[in-house]
């Protein structure tokens, strides 16, 4: 193999119990004078934001707490307004991927002109961003280290991605203690999102030995600890493994992009407001079954990492064991098996398919994917439309 392997991680990571307390030293060392905290109402209710505010006692600060799950262009514009009111020279994001992604958009708009929609795509901005300190509170997206932000354009009902090395936070304070307040259903959906990141990165056409090692360790940690984190949220060992698993998966997919699962999940979330982790969790078994025909040996590795007993199985049997392991895990943690409760039906099928095919993640998926393939994959996830959201 003479191929080159590329790997980037522009973020300075502090990981561990109490990592959040490293905020004050960073603020002091960098001599920041004014900070904007970006978060959401759910996080504010937990009292976690107080742990940030108590470290900002010597500088001016403001809090933007209106981030929505599947964050919007409006969220970004409102937060920029607060930023300019206090002339912040640093942004602190505390939350899941939604708060961190809004913060990335705000840091971009602070130093680059125009609207956030203008920056869709990779390497689209020319100026360095305002510095960002990211504190993740979900073990899911790993946005604290990634070079992507995903924003929903409400008008176009479209989820778009902004990417590029400039998007990466300067610092990530990654502390398992702040994930202990996550309720079981959010732990489940965000945890499976992290597992999907690891699976898609491991099987990506751009995977290399460095990203693969990270992705496999992420799969091992997440599959061995997600049930415990959901059903015994105080179990700090499980929380620690989940957060480290999510981080490792993020470092991996930052370098490989993802695959069909994320390409197909974004249109569903944009149109039907399905939480990101739930959308991926419903799609992933079908995507794995589609992809395993192209790269069964990689799915066999995933089955090993998920602790499956593969004795006596053929290669395809081992690949199928990985799919079954993901299905069992989803069922155990109460993830719905289809989109029926979100009223996803065939009325938007063409539009969702066209949007999915435009994603950069389709290009790195291990199996070539056609329009008809995407239609069939979506149809498998629709189920019969039911009247109540559970
Ligand atoms: N930037 C990236 O690289 C990247 C990667 C994958 C996904 N995403 C995006 O991230 C978004 C999803 O982020 P997410 O899944 O982390 O969820 P989220 O940020 O949308 O948060 C979901 C809910 O969990 C609550 N919550 C979060 N942490 C909590 C805690 N510790 N205690 C109690 N409640 C808590 C929030 O209040 C919110 O209601 C989507 O828009 C998705 O597209 C971004
Ligand atoms: Fe994701």
* pLDDT tens per residue, range 150-197: 999 999 888 899 999 999 999 999 999 999 999 999 999 999 999 999
Residue of the nearest CA to atom 33 in ligand 1?
182
Contacts of 25 (CB under 8 A, 6+ apart): none
Mean pLDDT confidence for 263-283: 95
On the question of pLDDT at 388 being above 50, the answer is: no
Coil, helix or strand at residue 203 = helix
Mean pLDDT of all residues belonging to the chain? 95
Residue 144: phi, psi to the nearest 5?
-60, -20
d(CA 299, CA 275): 26
Model pLDDT for residues 289-343, shown as the tens digit of each residue: 999 999 999 999 999 999 999 999 999 999 999 999 999 999 999 999 999 999 9
The pLDDT assigned to 6 comes to 87
Ligand 1 contacts CB of residue 11 (under 6 A): no
* Spatial distance between the Cα atoms of 10 and 132, rounded to a whole number of angstroms: 12
Q: What is the mean pLDDT of residues 144-155?
A: 95
282 vs 6, more confident: 282
- Which of the ligands is closest to the CA of residue 98? 1
Separation of CA 3 and ligand 1 centre (Å):
36
The CB of 361 under 6 Å from ligand 1? The reply is no
Sheet harboring 158-163: ordered strands across?
121-122, 158-163, 148-153
**What is the average pLDDT across 217-239?**
98
pLDDT at 389: 42
Q: What angle do CA 178, 186, 272 make, to 5 degrees?
A: 135
95 lines ligand 1 (CB under 6 A): yes
* Most informative mutation of 276, 283, 335 for ligand 1 (most atoms within 8 A of CB): 276
Between the CA of 130 and the centroid of ligand 2 the distance, in Å, is 24
Return the CA Rg of the chain: 20
Q: Which atom of ligand 1 is nearest to the CA of 98?
A: 19
Does 384 have pLDDT greater than 70?
A: no
Over residues 93-100, mean pLDDT: 97
- Nearest protein CA to atom 18 of ligand 1, as residue: 96
- Residue 178 has a CB neighbour count (10 Å cut-off) of 23
pLDDT of residue 158: 87
The residue-averaged pLDDT of 263-277 equals 95
Question: What pLDDT, on a 0 to 100 scale, did the predictor assign at position 390?
Answer: 39
Instruction: Examine the pLDDT at 1 and tell me if it is beyond 70.
Output: no
The dihedral built from the CA positions of residue 205, 211, 212 and 218, taken in this order, carries a sign that is negative
| Closest C-alpha to ligand 1, atom 25 | 42
The answer, yes or no, to whether any atom of ligand 1 lies below 6 A from the CB of 190, is: yes
């Amino acid at each position: 193999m003479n191929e080159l392997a590329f790997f980037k991680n522009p973020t300075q990571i502090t990981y561990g119990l109490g990592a959040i307390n490293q905020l004050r030293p960073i603020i002091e060392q960098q001599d920041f004078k004014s900070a904007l905290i970006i978060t959401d109402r759910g996080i504010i209710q937990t009292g976690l934001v107080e742990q940030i505010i108590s470290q900002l006692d010597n500088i001016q600060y403001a809090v933007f707490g209106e981030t929505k799950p599947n964050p919007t262009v409006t969220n970004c514009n409102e937060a920029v307004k607060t930023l300019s009111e206090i002339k912040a020279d640093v942004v602190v994001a505390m939350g899941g991927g939604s708060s961190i992604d809004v913060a990335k958009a705000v840091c971009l708009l602070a130093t680059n002109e125009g609207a956030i929609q203008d920056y869709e795509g990779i390497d689209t901005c020319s100026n360095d961003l305002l510095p960002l300190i990211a504190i993740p509170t979900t073990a899911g997206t790993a946005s604290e280290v990634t070079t992507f932000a995903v924003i929903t354009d409400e008008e176009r009902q479209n989820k778009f991605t902004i990417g590029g090395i400039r998007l990466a936070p300067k610092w990530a304070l990654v502390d398992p203690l702040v994930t202990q307040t996550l309720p079981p259903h959010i732990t489940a959906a965000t945890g499976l999102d992290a597992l999907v990141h690891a699976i898609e990165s491991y099987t990506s056409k751009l995977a290399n030995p460095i990203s693969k090692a990270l992705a496999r360790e992420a799969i091992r940690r997440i599959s061995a600890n997600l049930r415990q984190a959901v059903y015994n949220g105080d179990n700090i060992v499980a929380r620690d493994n989940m957060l480290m698993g999510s981080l490792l998966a993020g470092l991996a997919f930052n370098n490989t992009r993802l695959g069909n699962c994320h390409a197909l999940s974004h249109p569903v979330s944009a149109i039907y407001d399905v939480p990101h982790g739930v959308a991926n969790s419903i799609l992933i078994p079908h995507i794995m079954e589609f992809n395993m025909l192209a790269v069964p040996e990689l799915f066999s590795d995933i089955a090993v990492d998920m602790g499956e007993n593969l004795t006596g199985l053929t290669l395809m049997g081992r690949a199928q064991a990985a799919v079954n392991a993901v299905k069992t895990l989803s069922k155990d943690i109460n993830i719905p098996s289809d989109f029926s409760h979100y009223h996803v039906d065939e009325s938007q099928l063409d539009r969702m398919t066209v949007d999915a095919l435009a994603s950069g993640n389709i290009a790195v998926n291990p199996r070539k994917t056609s329009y008809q393939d995407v239609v069939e994959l979506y149809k498998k996830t629709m189920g019969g439309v039911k009247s109540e959201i559970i």
